[in-house]
Amino acid sequence: MLSIKNLSASVDGTEILKGLNLEVNAGEVHAIMGPNGSGKSTLASVVAGKDDYEVLGEITLNGKDILELAPEERAAEGVFLAFQYPVEIPGVSNVNFLKTAVNDIRAYKGLPPMVAKDFLKMLKEKQALVELDKKLSSRSVNEGFSGGEKKRNEIFQMAMLNPKLAILDETDSGLDIDALRIVANGVNKLKSLDNATIVITHYQRLLDYIIPDFVHVLYDGKIIKSGTKELALELEEKGYDWLIKPEMAQ
């Protein structure tokens, strides 16, 4: 589904990603772990299409080159990014913006706008999925939301847009254990054989709830180790040093 080949990304001449390779197939959950500053959030931003970066290499989604697509076109192709720090947008209502988003994506696919009744039905279903208070969906996007509400709102939006590839950037940060369970539960329910999830996280804790098929360690702009979920447990126990030190010695 997602194929990243020899990806490098720099900002103002500083290289952050340095030849990264990653293959994600439909139905899989991949976890990307790594110390601070290793390039995890940059990877998420580059895949989503943020244009602050000088990018080289190749990213394809189901065989389609997405590097030359605008962020909204990537979204329409099925890429979704759950932000580490969801942006507050005063004056833009959650519901109205989602209606525009859903219909802009439908227009991209040559489909007519969704009937209002169907949209409301979907809205209710997906709200229930992440246990999001109805009041929150009619409020301005993320404005005055607590940390947990913001993260739940991200998963709610993901549910509404039904992406092929979801990238969750540190979705567990700032969550208490109940909120973490609700968010993880939402993600698990949205999982299918047709979609894939990339979970970016610092902690093994989230991976107790969202079980990954593969775990990758990102360090200094490259994936230095890949494994299965046991790797995350090993990292929890030993930290990153045992992986990094031989790397540095080379």
d(CA 115, CA 123): 12
- Does 145 participate in binding other proteins (rule CB under 8 A)? no
- Taking contact as CB under 8 A, which single stretch among the options 69-77, 173-181, 209-217, 232-240 is the one that binds other proteins? 69-77
- Considering only residues 48, 122, 224, 233, which one is a binding residue for other proteins as defined by CB under 8 A? 48
**Window contacting other proteins (CB under 8 A); options: 31-39, 43-51, 180-188, 197-205:** 43-51
Among 3, 10, 21, 140, binds other proteins (CB under 8 A): 140
- Binding status of residue 243 toward other proteins by CB under 8 A: no
**Phi then psi dihedrals of residue 173, to 5 deg:** -70, 135
Q: For the window 92-111, what string marks contact with other proteins as x by the rule CB under 8 A?
A: x----xx-xxx-xx--x---
157: contact with other proteins by CB under 8 A: yes
Upper half-sphere CA count for residue 198 (Cβ side, 13 Å): 31
User: Closest distance between other proteins and the C-beta of residue 235, in Å?
Assistant: 29
H or E element in which residue 236 lies? helix 229-238
Q: Does 76 bind other proteins (CB under 8 A)?
A: yes
- The piece of 88-96, 123-131, 193-201, 212-220 that touches other proteins (CB under 8 A) is 88-96
What distance in Å separates the CA atoms of residue 14 and residue 19, rounded to the nearest whole number? 14
Residues that bind other proteins (rule: CB under 8 A) add up to a total of 31
Tokens coding 201? 């996280």
Which residues lie closer than 8 Å to 47 by C-beta, 6 or more apart? Answer: 2, 4, 59, 66, 74, 79, 81, 165, 167
The minimum distance between CB 71 and other proteins, in angstroms, equals 4
83 binds other proteins (CB under 8 A): yes
Tell which positions 106-135 bind other proteins, by CB under 8 A: 108
SS3 (DSSP) at 222? strand
Q: Does the footprint of other proteins cover residue 186 (CB under 8 A)?
A: no
What strands lie across the sheet with 79-82, from one edge to the other? 79-82, 165-169, 196-200, 29-33, 214-219, 222-227
List the structure tokens of 128.
Answer: 């229930």
| Cβ contact 52:45 at 8 Å | yes
The reply on whether position 11 binds other proteins by CB under 8 A is no
Binding site for other proteins (CB under 8 A): 48-50, 70-72, 74-76, 79-81, 83, 86-87, 89-92, 97-98, 100-102, 104-105, 108, 140-141, 157, 161
